[in-house]
Structure 1
Amino acid sequence: MEEFIEYILQFGNLNQQQIDLVLNNAIEIELKKDEYFSEAGKVSQQVGFVLNGVLRVCYYNNKGEEITKYFIDENNLVVDFESFENEIPSTVYVQAAADTKIMVFPRKNWKELSNIIVGWDAIVHKIVSRALMQKVERRSPLISEDAKTRYLKFLEIYPNIVNRVPLSFVASYLGITQSSLSRIRKNIQ
């Protein structure tokens, strides 16, 4: 849980009493690979911080194919922010791509922090802004590149993920078939 406090303190200051309040409002959960943190069609009810493991955000396209949008690994917040904030059904699934340990704040507890800690909303706003920028930075260079270049960029962006998640998830993220990914990997090793 110290990792979460270090993370939060990058975006603003908290005194020890506020830190204790934050920690007292969290619970630690473990998700086994393939279990869901949140699901499409349901309102997101919690904010998490990945302590160990990898999650993926995915959806099903109009052909029924599963598409991986992005991955979330250690020391990152996980929340379907639009669903959580606006209390509307989510359009994506957040699934454990590997066994994952998460520090979780149920909605009521997260809102309580917002009501009690002066400056909490400003910290959250900075975190969300950074996450959105990262998401754009991670996706933009991949759109117009060939498959090999996309894979090499993936390795740059997510250096600790490729050997921890099924290759089908990586292929889906890259927009290629698993056999194409296997060929690419074989040719660059």
Structure 2
Amino acid sequence: MKELVQYILQFGNLNQQQIDLISKKATEINFGKDEYFSEAGKVSVQVGFIIDGIMRVCYYNNKGEEITKYFIEENNLVVDLESFNNSVCSSAYVQAVTDCTLIVFSKADWEELLATIVGWDTIVHKIISRALMQKVDRRSPLVSEDATTRYLSFMEKYPKVVNRIPLSYLASYLGITQSSLSRIRKNIR
């Protein structure tokens, strides 16, 4: 829980009573490798904070190929925001890449925190803004760079992730085949 509190306090101030309320509403849950936190076609009903492990957001394109959009590592919130906020079916999957431990809030508890804690909405807005900026920062180079540069950029931006995820997910994220990724890795060594 201390990881979550430290994370939240980066974005605003809370008193002990507010921290205690957040702690009371939180539930620690373990997800096994390959389990889904949320699924396409279903409404997302929870917000999580990753204490340990890596999750990925993925979808299937019109050819039925699995595409990894991005990875979420420790000390980050995980939620399908559009589905969660608007109660609409998700278009993506959020899946555990490794065994994961999360602190999870139900939609009802999350909304209670928003209604009860003064300034919670501002803190949440700042967290979401930072996450969106990170997502754009991590995805934008994938459009203009060659595959080797994309791989090197990934290693730089996700240093704690690169050796913990399957190569198939990494190749999908980079938009290349697994054999191309193997060649790139071999040439870099």
| TM-score, with structure 2 as normaliser | 0.99
Match of 1:118 in 2: 118
Alpha-carbon deviation of 1:142? Answer: 1.6
1:11 is the counterpart of 2:11: yes
Give me the whole-angstrom Cα distance separating, in 1, the residues matched to 2:31 and 2:182: 28
Match of 2:129 in 1: 129
The 3-state SS of whatever aligns with 2:179 is: helix
Alpha-carbon deviation of 1:62? Answer: 0.2
Root mean square deviation, CA, Å: 0.5
Q: Name the % identity.
A: 71
Alpha-carbon deviation of 1:169? Answer: 0.4
Deviation string 1:87-136 (CA, Å, 9 cap, x unpaired) is 10001000001111100001111001011101000000000011001100
Alpha-carbon deviation of 1:55? Answer: 0.1
| Residue identity matched to 1:168 | S
The 3-state SS of whatever aligns with 1:37 is: strand
Alpha-carbon deviation of 1:162? Answer: 1.1
Mean CA deviation greater in 55-64 or 138-147: 138-147
| TM-score, with structure 1 as normaliser | 0.99
Give me the whole-angstrom Cα distance separating, in 2, the residues matched to 1:156 and 1:121: 32
Give me the whole-angstrom Cα distance separating, in 1, the residues matched to 2:145 and 2:153: 9
| Residue identity matched to 2:186 | K
Deviation string 1:25-84 (CA, Å, 9 cap, x unpaired) is 010011111000000010000000000000000000000000000000000000001110
Give me the whole-angstrom Cα distance separating, in 1, the residues matched to 2:124 and 2:80: 14
Aligned residues: 189
